[in-house]
Chain A
Amino acid sequence: MIAPAADTASARSEVRGWKRTAMLFLAVLGPGMITANVDNDAGGIATYSIAGAHFGYSLLWTLVPITIALIVIQEMSARLGAITGKGLGELIRENYGLRATFYLLVALLVTDIGNTVAEFAGWAAALEIFGIPRIVSVPIGAFVVWWIVVKGNYKSVEKVFLIACTIYLTYILSALFAKPVWKDVLKQTFEPRIESSAAWILMIIGIVGTTIAPWMQFYLQSSIVEKRIGPEEYELSRWDVIVGCILTDVVAFFIIVACAATLFPKGIRIAGAEQAALALKPLAGKWAGTLFALGLANASLFAASILPLATAYSICEGLGFEAGVNKTWSEAPQFNTLYTGMIVIGAGIILIPGVPLFPVLFLSQVLNGLLLPFVLVFMCLLINRTDLMGEHVNGRVWNWVAWGTCLVMIGLTLVLVVTSIWPGLFPAH
């Protein structure tokens, strides 16, 4: 009577073969894909547009090492979450104390407020291309952001976000409309070329800085925990992360290509993504510009939904406050204050007439750069602790790549911070 149990138990729980794998993959899909895509936010699109317009195809090759670095770092975040079942803030606090965690989280808050301002700025600029003034678009955007999260639960919100991920494909269409010379594109993608001018170095730093941001590590790890992805599901979840990172940089690739094929040969200088969209219209057709602006609007709003949420969760998790979008103001006062406050500040600053946006964005970029090395070092330390990770600590090769990435990131961000404070450190040419 007992022997048949084996077959029946397995008959009930297991669908064998690729179908099962596919189903399981769809079940864990989300965190990696979403985090990586939000990475192409307003600031990211602006950076890639400028890279294409000012440097043509010559910076395309940098996307290859950047993708590898992104994958290595995001994979560690996901692995930390899956194995420990805890957020990054919680882990740092439990292992390195409250004071370190506190200052790290305060820095994260300030940085992310700056980033949120940037997202609403992107949203406002994109809708102005469609003739909608910011006095209308920004309050609507802020309300949508707030409503999605407060009224939705994690599962439905994740679906909305996954759909938003597909809108990024508009950039591929924009690039096709721009009719690039594919032979040159391919050649320059796989042929690294290094320059030594200040503008070139700053551009590289800009691209790296916009691709790997501190908030992502907190957000990805929390969503992995939230989605209840454990050690068993992790093998599949890893692919969610890898595919997400690759798609993100594919989108970045096409943004650069679109601008490089059209704006670069004419020598058009731009200062932001919305200017790229406007400049594309006469050169690559109305549709190229419209799709470009649509992508910017989507990316900005998408990131504006995630950033305040991710920040509020990270802080509450680390400091031990109640957190949850389904909790009332009195149940989770700190969480609600942080979340709502960030949206109000982010949207509010954009609405103040004549407010200088540049110092805000500049400060948040510098803070991003200062914060990132600390986050990365904590991650590298945590992931090598056998008491936390067991057999899932980094292997030797992975560790070399991870620490190498950390060092390069630290070096680049230091240069960024230094040149932000003392411009003209490098010769102009």
Chain B
Amino acid sequence: MTTPSTPSAARTTAVPAHEGFFVSEFLGETVRDVARHPVGKISDFAVATSTRAPFPRVTGLLIRDRFETFVLPWEDVAIFQHGAVRTRLVREDLLHRPAREDEIFLARHLLDKQIVDINGVKVVRVNDLKLDVLSGDLVLTAADVGVRGLVRRVFGAGVTPRGGRLSDASLPARLIPWDSMQPLHGRLERLETTMPQEKLQRLHPADIADILSQVSGTERTGIFRKLDVETAAETLHELEPEIQAEIIEDLPERRASEILEQMPADEAADVLGEIEGDHARDLVQLMEKGAAEEVTELLVHDENTAGGLMGTDFVTFAPDLTVKETLQRLRPLARDAEALFYFYVVDEKDRVLGALSVRELLAAEDDALLESVMVTPVRSATPDVSADEVAETMSKYDLLALPVTDPEGVLVGIITIDDVVDRLQPQPRRHRRRLR
């Protein structure tokens, strides 16, 4: 970013040996020119978003004088230390540069705002920001979220309420390094460019859900937009239906429908069931045709019945196949199946004749026909059976999946154990916002 007129000027900035600076210690500090005439006071730090450096780099100091606010480029700062910030020019030669499009401001956009502590998996508030000098550049290295930062902000640099030096104080300091913090403020999303990989993406979807449950709506949507479609779908799975719906409603429709496509049809139907009619219709229409049809079928049913619980991800075979043929056909299917516990043997009208677990199939002779090894009769439920009854049946007979059939015995879906496990547990497993 160095311009030809100031070759490596940044590297000549005199910065004393130090253990880092805090932004709060410099806000309000008077900047002087070579002749020691005051130029103005520091009101903020501009940071570039357009570099691929490992840390966000300070591009200039935002200076406020009696008449205006302008950026003093970092290249023009000659001395930067406590009590002495000097530019290498004379006052009259200063270029009063306005803020650039690609600059964000540390005090305005990051201080006092919430960030995600990626390692601690928590949402925390920024009390102060730590700057360090790396090969002549001033860079943002950490956020101070501890009590020490709080005291420094309120009572001024270096002083504790008792009058002692901060460094002597036994106040807990908590610094979150730049590579494990994720800013949430809208404008800071652009700071992502300095990270090779999206930080949030490193978290387990259950942890992301935990974080989403701690922030307000705007920030929640902000975080969600950063996730890739697959992670977004998995994260959504961890949340309560009403929160799922809120998030989906806030997303652009195109992206919302992509995420819904990625989810198992029964869960997508649950989410859509919470969304207001017209909007839900629009989302379904944007979904890929196959997924849309599956979801549409499921939406007919009340969510507290077998029909509402079931998914459409099941595997069927004809009764006259041999075990060997079946195994060959099963292998490619196993890759995509949500949970392949059993498969079903059906007649030409999709009526269920019998069921077989994968273990039983492996144990059978290669040339035996399915109709001779399948288990009958098959326990099943019709779509209108209540969800609690389904849970009871599955628990009683130790079933990992229960087929759902229409009154004629035609297989329309299956309910897997994870669809009902919440009903078998006494406590809700999913995340709410700040349980108080």
- Interfacial residues, chain A to chain B (CB-CB below 8 A): 1-2, 4-10, 12-14, 84-86, 93-94, 97-99, 102, 153-154, 225-226, 228, 230, 313, 319-320, 323-326
Contact = CB atoms under 8 A, between A and B. Distances in A.
A154 B299 contact: no
Given A13-B280, A99-B153, A102-B154, A5 B275 contact: no
B293 interface: yes
Top 8 closest A-B pairs, CB basis? A10-B277, A85-B216, A320-B125, A9-B280, A6-B281, A8-B299, A5-B284, A12-B273
Interface in B243-286: 246, 272-278, 280-281, 284-285
B217 interface: yes
Contacts, number: 100
Nearest to B300: A8
Given A9-B284, A230-B217, A14 B276 contact: yes
B280 A5 contact: yes
Contact of B154 (A84, A99, A323, A325): A99
B204 interface: no
A319 B150 CA distance: 8
A154 B280 contact: no
B307 to A, nearest CB: 11
Interface string B282-304: 00110001001101100110110
B283 to A, nearest CB: 9
A27 B288 CA distance: 36
A228 B284 CA distance: 26
| Chain A interface SS verdict (over half) | helix
B162 interface: no
B273 A85 contact: no
B127 interface: yes
Contacts of A97: 112
Given A85-B218, A230-B246, A326-B435, A9 B299 contact: yes
Contact of A6 (B145, B242, B278): B278
Nearest to B303: A12
B349 interface: no
Interface of B: 111-113, 124-125, 127, 145, 150, 153-154, 216-218, 242, 246, 272-278, 280-281, 284-285, 289, 292-293, 295-296, 299-300, 302-303, 433-436
B194 to A, nearest CB: 24
Contacts of B154: 98-99, 102
B296 A93 contact: no
Given A98-B154, A226-B436, A228-B433, 4 more contacts: A2-B293, A5-B296, A9-B280, A320-B125
Given A2-B293, A13-B277, A324-B435, A86 B299 contact: no
Contacts of B278: 6, 10
Contact of B277 (A6, A228, A325): A6
B64 to A, nearest CB: 15
Contacts of A230: 217, 246
Contacts of B302: 12
Nearest to B434: A324
9 contacts: A13-B273, A13-B276, A14-B276, A86-B216, A98-B111, A226-B433, A230-B217, A325-B436, A326-B435
A4 B296 contact: yes
A14 B279 CA distance: 13
Contacts of A94: 112-113
B434 A226 contact: yes
A98 B295 contact: no
Contact of B145 (A225, A226, A320, A323): A320
Contacts of A102: 150, 154
Contacts of A8: 296, 299-300
A7 B276 CA distance: 11
A4 B301 CA distance: 13
Contacts of B293: 1-2
A9 B285 contact: no
Contacts of A319: 125, 150
Contacts of A324: 434-436
Contacts of A4: 296, 300
Nearest to B154: A102
A228 B247 CA distance: 13
Contacts of B218: 84-85
A154 B278 CA distance: 33
B112 A93 contact: yes
A5 B292 contact: yes
B435 A5 contact: no
Contacts of A12: 273, 299, 302-303
A13 B112 CA distance: 39
Contacts of A6: 277-278, 280-281
Contacts of A7: 277
A147 to B, nearest CB: 15
B281 A9 contact: yes
B124 A320 contact: yes
Nearest to B220: A85
Contact of A9 (B125, B242, B277): B277
A153 B296 contact: no
Nearest to B217: A85
Given A5-B296, A85-B216, A98 B153 contact: yes
Contacts of B277: 6-7, 9-10, 13-14
A12 B124 CA distance: 38
A102 B434 CA distance: 23
Contact of B435 (A2, A99, A153, A320): A153
Contact of B272 (A2, A9, A320, A325): A9
Contact of B281 (A5, A85, A154): A5
Contact of B299 (A5, A228, A325): A5
A325 B435 CA distance: 8
Contact of A2 (B113, B296, B433): B296
Contacts of B124: 320
A35 B204 CA distance: 39
B214 to A, nearest CB: 10
A98 B127 contact: yes
Given A2-B284, A13-B280, A154 B216 contact: no
A9 B287 CA distance: 15
Contacts of A325: 436
A331 B216 CA distance: 22
A141 to B, nearest CB: 22
A373 to B, nearest CB: 22
A320 B111 CA distance: 12
Nearest to B285: A2
Nearest to B185: A94
Contacts of B285: 2, 5
Contacts of A228: 242, 433
Nearest to A149: B436
Nearest to A94: B112
Nearest to A97: B112
A194 B37 CA distance: 61
Contacts of B280: 5-6, 9-10, 13
B352 to A, nearest CB: 24
A98 B435 contact: no
A319 to B, nearest CB: 6
